[in-house]
């Protein structure tokens, strides 16, 4: 009997333990537990790994604490451009979208691409039109905005026209105490989930709002299958978070599967090799979550910390922010 397992992440970065209050830490940990519970309900009810990662990432997109969906960062033109990808480990079917501006939940759009089109990747206006045609909920772009994200853009542009910030590092640059557990100057704003269901199938999904003050049209690793998201029942399911350009160059998510399949490495060995040996020379700060067909979960990162959590169906969730 296979025990279903779900793992999620909400971004990697450096810690500021001295600046976090117990209340702030509790806020993030409670959010992670609530999201894990939502995905676990799917698995406990006999649902698929694909449904579980879809629900977990949708909930992450709805939480303004994380940079995906509501609470996404702004581009340098004060717009939101949202990206997501999803992959089914059983069939290796996948779907991805990028540069969405009005679709409430990009992960649902990515899944619609996978299930209702002959293609894998839609971007921009084409992605928007496809999602609308599938009946997905559309919102005014202001839905994604928060005051904190607007302030980050203002500060980035005051600092310099070419300043591009990872997630919400405005507080750090302004010399103010950070309001989040991670050092906001080096926090990577991506969310993701991986799961194993009771039938032995794997799935992964990743979603992001990008980087503050990024050039319009820039796409990172999150929606790139093989870089920010990958799943195959033969090996593992992976969702990454970090400096996207490096993860694309390393084909990071697929490389873990390849090291397992062709190199005979375990999940832990493969993930550690990618995160701690292959990514750093490329400037690849960040981390990932991954799961194999036996339910083994790894969550390595080469930064000071990463929002993360996992749950086995019917058991108590484990969440963490700091390095254990």
Task: Pick out the residues of the known binding site for substrate.
Answer: 218-221, 241-244
> 150: which 2 tokens?
């607007």
Parallel, antiparallel or unpaired: strands 121-123 and 94-100: parallel
H-type alpha helices, 45-146: 49-62, 106-116, 124-133
Cα-based angle 220, 221, 226 (whole degrees, multiple of 5)? 155
Structure tokens at 190: 């991506």
DSSP assignment, residue 277? I
Q: Which residues are annotated as a binding site?
A: 218-221, 241-244
How far is Cα 209 from Cα 198, in angstroms, rounded to an integer? 32
List Cβ neighbours of 264 (8 Å cut-off, separation of 6 or more).
Answer: none
Instruction: Pick left, alpha or beta for residue 314 (phi over 0 → left; psi -120 to 50 → alpha; otherwise beta).
Output: left
Which residue, among 79, 315, 23, 82, has the nearest Cα to 206 in the 3D structure? Answer: 82
**Are residues 243 and 227 in contact, defined by beta-carbon separation less than 8 angstroms?**
no
Q: Is 32 helix (H, G, I), strand (E, B) or coil?
A: helix
Check if the beta carbon of residue 67 is closer than 8 Å to that of residue 214: no
Residue 316 among the catalytic residues: no
Catalytic residue of the set 190, 206, 208, 240: 190
Active site residues: 190
């Amino acid at each position: 009997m296979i025990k279903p397992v779900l793992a999620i992440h909400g971004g990697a970065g450096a810690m500021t333990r001295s600046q976090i209050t117990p209340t702030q830490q509790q806020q993030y940990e409670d959010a992670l537990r609530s999201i894990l519970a939502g995905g676990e309900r799917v698995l406990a009810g006999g649902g698929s790994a694909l449904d579980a990662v879809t629900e977990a990432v949708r909930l992450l997109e709805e939480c303004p604490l994380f940079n995906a969906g509501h609470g996404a960062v702004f581009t340098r033109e004060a717009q939101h451009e949202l990206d997501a990808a999803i992959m089914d480990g059983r069939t290796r079917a996948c779907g991805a979208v990028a540069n969405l501006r009005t679709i409430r939940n990009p992960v649902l759009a990515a899944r619609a691409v996978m299930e209702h089109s002959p293609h894998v990747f839609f971007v921009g206006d084409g992605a928007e039109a496809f999602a609308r045609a599938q009946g997905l909920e559309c919102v005014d772009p202001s839905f994604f905005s928060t005051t904190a994200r607007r302030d980050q853009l203002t500060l980035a542009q005051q600092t310099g026209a070419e300043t591009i910030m990872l997630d919400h590092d405005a507080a750090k640059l302004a010399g103010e105490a950070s309001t989040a557990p991670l050092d906001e100057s080096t926090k990577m704003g991506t969310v993701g989930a991986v799961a194993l269901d009771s039938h032995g199938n794997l799935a992964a999904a990743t979603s992001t709002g990008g980087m503050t003050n990024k050039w319009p049209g820039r796409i990172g690793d999150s929606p790139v299958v093989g870089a920010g998201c990958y799943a195959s029942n033969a090996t593992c399911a992976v969702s990454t978070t970090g400096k996207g350009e490096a993860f694309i160059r390393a084909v990071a998510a697929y490389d873990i599967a390849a090291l397992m399949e062709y190199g005979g490495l375990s999940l832990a060995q493969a993930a550690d090799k990618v995160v701690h040996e292959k990514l750093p020379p490329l400037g690849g700060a960040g981390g990932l979550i991954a799961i194999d067909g036996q339910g083994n979960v790894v969550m390595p990162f080469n930064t000071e910390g990463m929002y993360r959590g996992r749950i086995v169906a019917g058991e108590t969730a484990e969440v963490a922010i700091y390095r254990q």
